[in-house]
């Protein structure tokens, strides 16, 4: 899995359109101004403001968290960096390294691995999770069917993680892409959560096929 903050490279070459959009992107400029590591933070912010998913959250797991913009948002929202977070807990997991974020516990590794899960269980210390957020995306090949299968595999694994760790009223957000496999993932969310809907934040580029599935309340 990979985290947020894509390089805009395809086959080792810089995508000039992506680079032009990135330099002139108002969300990139806003992220720099507000001290966030990636523009992706504003996707989570809008989802949170729309669905109030963090209103009661005290324990959150961020899957595929590098470079850490979502962890930064979670840290600020739960006031971890101010020392006012109380019993709040944010755990970030990624294969890639991540610079520390105030108050966030980071585990480098694959969230499917037993060793990583063991570290997470120690941190959770018996607590159920209020929210699972995932901006994970595989390294894309450009072949629609292959990429669809890779995305589906990651999301299915993340949903399985949520089933085992979320509290019954918990919420989950996962990035998916319109294309092969999308309908199956949307169906998976409907089967797993009491309420489920797709949502495309304004910060998602219009040409991007990405959309976020939001699930609320685990089905019994």
Answer yes or no: is 190 within a domain. yes
Q: How far is residue 63's CA from residue 93's CA, in Å, rounded to a whole number?
A: 5
Indicate whether 4 belongs to any domain.
no
Residue 148 lies in a domain: yes
> Distance between CA atoms of 15 and 4, rounded to whole angstroms?
17
Q: Is 70 annotated as a binding residue?
A: yes
Q: Confirm or deny that 113 is annotated as ligand binding.
A: no
% of the chain at pLDDT higher than 90? 75
Whether residue 2 lies inside any domain: the answer is: no
Q: Is residue 156 part of a domain?
A: yes
Give the separation between CA 57 and CA 34, rounded to whole angstroms. 23
pLDDT at 17: 66
The answer to whether residue 132 sits within a structural domain is yes
Tokens 């990405």 identify what position?
Answer: 210
Structure tokens at 93: 């997991």
Residue 128 pairs in a beta bridge with none
Helix 69-77 × helix 41-51 angle, to 10°: 40
Buried b (16+ CB within 10 A) or exposed e, 49-66: eebebbeebbbbbbbbbb
5 is in an annotated binding site: no
Q: Which carries the bigger pLDDT value, residue 130 or residue 24?
A: 130
Catalytic center residues: 175
Residue 20 has pLDDT above 70, yes or no: no
Give the highest mean pLDDT range of 16-25, 144-153, 191-200.
191-200
Could you give the number of structural domains in the chain?
A: 1
What average pLDDT is seen over the chain?
90
Residue 1 included in any domain:
no
Tokens 């395809």 -> residue: 10
Measure Cα distances from 69 to 162, 164, 196 in Å: 21, 25, 25
With residue 22 as reference, give the H or E element that holds it.
Answer: helix 16-23
- Per the structure, the complete domain to which residue 77 belongs is given by 9-218
Three-state DSSP class for residue 131: strand
For residue 94, say whether it is annotated as part of any ligand binding site.
yes
Task: Tell me the whole-structure pTM to 2 decimals.
Answer: 0.89
Domain harbouring 27, CATH code:
3.40.50.150
The pLDDT value given to residue 3: 52
Whether 47 shows a pLDDT value over 90: the answer reads yes
Q: What is the mean pLDDT of residues 189-211?
A: 96
Q: What is the pLDDT of residue 19?
A: 65
Q: Is residue 24 part of a domain?
A: yes
- Give the 3-state secondary structure of residue 179: coil
């Amino acid at each position: 899995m990979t985290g947020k903050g894509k390089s805009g490279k395809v086959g080792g070459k810089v995508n000039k359109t992506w680079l032009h959009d990135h330099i002139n992107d108002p969300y990139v400029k806003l992220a720099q101004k507000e001290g966030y590591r990636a523009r992706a933070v504003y996707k989570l912010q809008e989802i949170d403001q729309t669905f109030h998913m963090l209103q009661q959250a005290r324990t959150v797991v961020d899957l595929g968290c590098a470079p850490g913009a979502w962890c930064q948002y979670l840290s600020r929202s739960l006031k971890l960096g101010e020392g006012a977070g109380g019993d709040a807990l944010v755990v970030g997991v990624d294969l890639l390294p991540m610079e520390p974020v105030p108050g966030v516990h980071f585990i480098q590794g694959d969230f499917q691995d037993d060793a990583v899960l063991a570290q997470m269980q120690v941190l959770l210390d018996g607590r159920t999770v209020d929210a699972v957020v995932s901006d994970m995306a595989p390294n894309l090949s450009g072949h629609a069917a292959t990429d669809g299968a890779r995305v589906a595999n990651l999301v299915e694994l993340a949903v399985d993680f949520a089933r085992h760790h979320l509290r019954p009223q918990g919420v989950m957000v996962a990035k998916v892409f319109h294309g092969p496999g999308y309908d199956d993932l949307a169906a998976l969310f409907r089967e797993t959560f009491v309420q489920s809907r797709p949502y495309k934040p304004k910060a998602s580029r219009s040409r991007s096929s990405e959309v976020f599935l939001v699930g609320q309340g685990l089905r019994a």
